[in-house]
Structure 1
Amino acid sequence: MSAARYRVIQISARDGAFVRELPVTGIVYAETLNGDGSASVGIPLTCPEADPESLIPGISGLIIERNGVPAWGGIVWTMAADLAAGTLTLNAAGFHSYYKGRVLHDGYTRRGDQTALIKDWINACNADNGVGTDVSALANTGRERFRTWTQFELKNVAEAIQELAEDDGGFNFRYVPYTGGGFHGHRLVMSPRGGAVIPSALVHGTNCDVTQVSYDSASMATRAYAVGADNGNGTKLVGITDNLDLATRMATKHVVASFSDVKHTETLLNKSAAIISAGREPVAIPALTLYPNVFDPTTFIPGDSGPVQVDCGYVALLDDFVITERRTSVDANGTEITTLALANKELFTSAD
């Protein structure tokens, strides 16, 4: 496989309009499961494209193309000029980061399909000077949820989407950049937990190097409490879910999570069930580096899953794992290095 060709395009974050192609000294970009993702792009400090009149944090966006296809898109939020090195570093986050700065200022109350709720929130932002996130690809999941917030709570839209995704019976989501007719847009897509199957089994020493595996029991629970809003009389709503099977092997262990804006017991039961589902066993977290020029790294999508094989002393893995982050770095010579972070697939299954 020949070296990939990269191009970085500056756009208007507000409407996706093309501004210019940027000369780059290095690129690092990452896509994170149900999160913002990030990118860091270096350009020469004194190049004509480093224009303070048009390249502006919060206003400028970036599209990173790999072999002519958009691989990452987002908004530049911070910049750092290194006068000694002669570089300007653009630090961006994916489009989900924009919704951390949008709130449901009119309040919201509805029971509906997961997708219907998300469309309501995104469309309300789009209609009020938003970034034009396309939600036309979202299809109903068949899972109804109830959400209610008053106008005084100013519920954060990014948080609302993430909390919906993390419910028992939740989903994966990502923002996919696309290009057409000089316009650079992005669409929100959803997929079931566990995602699609990755292109190939990842075998340590054959097509990747598993550099580290960590194990963590912090999320394990025999009982989970999801604590909600105050009832106004000194009590709070609580959703409780038990794992009786785990209690036969492990001493009682409670996990308590607070959801102070949740006012519906059904929602809290979904939350506690999701905590129990994620806490069935210790989390194994492998980190690995793909061998160069073996795979197209963009085919490894956070949320997708597949087998990882390692046989090295204590580390004996022959299980399915879910990709939680893909990070790719590209130097000035075009050398491409991709690392993956993963977690047990069982953490992403639910009882819903």
Structure 2
Amino acid sequence: MYRILFVEFVSGDVWGELPALEVNFSRVLNAPGEASVKVPLTGPAVRGLPWQALQPWRVLVYVQRGQQILWGGPLVSYAADLSSETMTLNAQGLWAYYRRRFITEDRVFLARDQALIARDLIRDFGDGTGNLVRSSGPKALTFDDTYLTGVVRDRSYWRYEWKGVGQMVEDLAQLKDGFDFRLDHFWQNGRIVNRFVFGPPTGDPTDFVLEHGANCTVSGISADGTAITTEAVVTGAGDGADQLVSSWYDLLHETDGSRRIPRLTSVQSRVDVTVPATLTAYAQQAIAEGSVPIVIPAVQLHPHAFPSVGDLQVGQLASVRAKVGDWPGHSGRFKVTEISHKVSDTGAAETRLALAPGEVFANVGSASIS
């Protein structure tokens, strides 16, 4: 049911297949995720296997079920257990590689769509498919070159700052009106393609409904108001009276009689930010994330039910419904931020979801002071 493929990172050539005793992986929105695979060291399936090829960062490991590739990323470590005659391969999601690449030349973007900025940084300084003469990389990613977010930004990256490509793309993503991203993997013309996929920060709408007792088990629901914020202050570059500061307020939350609360303030430091509008975007995001208590259901999908691990993608919005006894329960729209899948040595599969309330990605707030 599950195939474990290993592919040379640089060429993309499929080098072989491994039998799996256990499989664990996680897909994480705007982040790499990770995987571990336990394989046997003896038996016909591994006899003659080119073990010397299974070296950290030399190969990409892919998890395939049916015709779908569910996960992919570089091998980063392995451990052989001689008593049980097994080996555990540990891998990180492919995005982990781009966290290891750095911006090595000055680059200035003026009034440029943030998707174009992200693509240029990745291609020029990460993947080796850009316009730089000395551009180096595995040429492992493809993009939808027509996709634009409609949000333009000014950005300056200086060589002496040695900023990481992955971190800069993630910083762009987490701004208010930023974007989501994930890496998809699929077969095309006998090769595995790795596609960088942009998505709206509010989440991709779907008709998926996760209902407790029907197609999933909601083992618990937690509500946390620790991060509720009605005044977000973000400080930037500079010192003392010359320091940049931007604030954003949720005045309605402080005055609406149906949900009125006293002012709650949060303060962030972004010392590398020199553009006031960028500080305001961070403050807006803090207000959005702090606009409601974080209500999170713990969801485990039922095996063989719909949707399954192969149907859901991180960044999608799904409805969750759960109630029990005389408690009215909770119903709402949630964004899938992580999908964790585990297959034990008995073949039993378990899929758990990490979810974030859809409200925290909405536009919230009514005033700005910079």
CA deviation profile, 1:32-70 (whole Å, cap 9, x unmatched): 111112211111134447654210112221111111222
CA distance in 2, matches of 1:80, 1:214: 37
How far apart, in 1, do the equivalents of 2:146 and 2:115 lie?
Answer: 6
Q: C-alpha separation between the residues in 1 aligned to 2:175 and 2:81?
A: 43
Report the secondary structure of 2:236's partner residue.
strand
Q: What is aligned with 2:168?
A: 160
- Which has the larger displacement, 336-345 or 82-91? 82-91
1:262 to 239, 252, 273: 273
Letter in 1 for 2:305: V
Indicate yes or no: 2:97 matched with 1:98.
Answer: yes
Q: How many residues align?
A: 347
Distance in 2 of aligned mates of 1:15 and 1:346: 43
Please name the residue that 1:86 is paired with.
85
Q: Is 2:38 aligned against 1:42?
A: yes
Aligned ranges for residues 330-345 of structure 1 at < 5 Å? 330-345=343-358
The one of 234, 244, 247 equivalent to 1:237 is 244
- Pairwise mapping of residues 1-352 of structure 1 onto structure 2 (< 5 A)? 5-46=1-42, 47-48=46-47, 51-111=50-110, 112-124=112-124, 125-127=126-128, 128-132=135-139, 133-137=141-145, 139-230=147-238, 235-248=242-255, 249-295=260-306, 296-312=308-324, 316-350=329-363
1:95 Cα deviation from its structure 2 partner: 1.4
Displacement of 1:304: 0.9
Instruction: Give the number of the structure whose alpha-carbon radius of gyration is greater.
Output: 2
Whole-Å separation in 2 of the counterparts to 1:246 and 1:50: 62
TM-score by length of 2: 0.88
* Alpha carbons 2:149, 2:179 under 8 Å: kept: no
| 3-state SS of paired residue (2:97) | helix
SS in structure 2 opposite 1:274?
A: helix
Q: Could you tell me whether the CA contact under 8 Å between 1:328 and 1:336 is conserved in 2?
A: yes
Distance 1:235 1:317, change over 3 A: same
In structure 1, the gaps of 5 or more residues are: none
C-alpha RMSD of the superposition? 2.1
Deviations 1:209-248 (A, max 9, x none): 10122222232111112222236x7742222111112223
Map Cα deviations across residues 105-132 of structure 1 (whole Å, 9 max, x no partner): 2132212101110111011122233232
Tell me, in whole angstroms, the C-alpha distance in 2 between the residues paired with 1:165 and 1:17: 31
Moved more, 133-142 or 71-80: 133-142
Identity of aligned residues (%): 30
Match for 1:328: what amino acid?
Answer: H
Q: 1:234 to 1:104 in 2, by over 3 A?
A: farther
Decide whether the 8 Å contact of 1:241 with 1:272 is kept in 2.
yes
Deviation at 1:183, TM superposition (A): 2.5
Distance 2:107 2:272 in 1: 12
Counterparts of 1:48 and 1:56, CA distance in 2:
18
Q: Distance in 2 between matches of 1:279 and 1:122?
A: 31
Does structure 1 retain, via aligned residues, the 8 Å contact 2:217–2:299?
yes
What is the identity, as a one-letter code, of the residue corresponding to 1:115? A
Give the direction of change, closer, same or farther, for the CA distance of 1:224–1:76 in structure 2 (3 Å limit). same
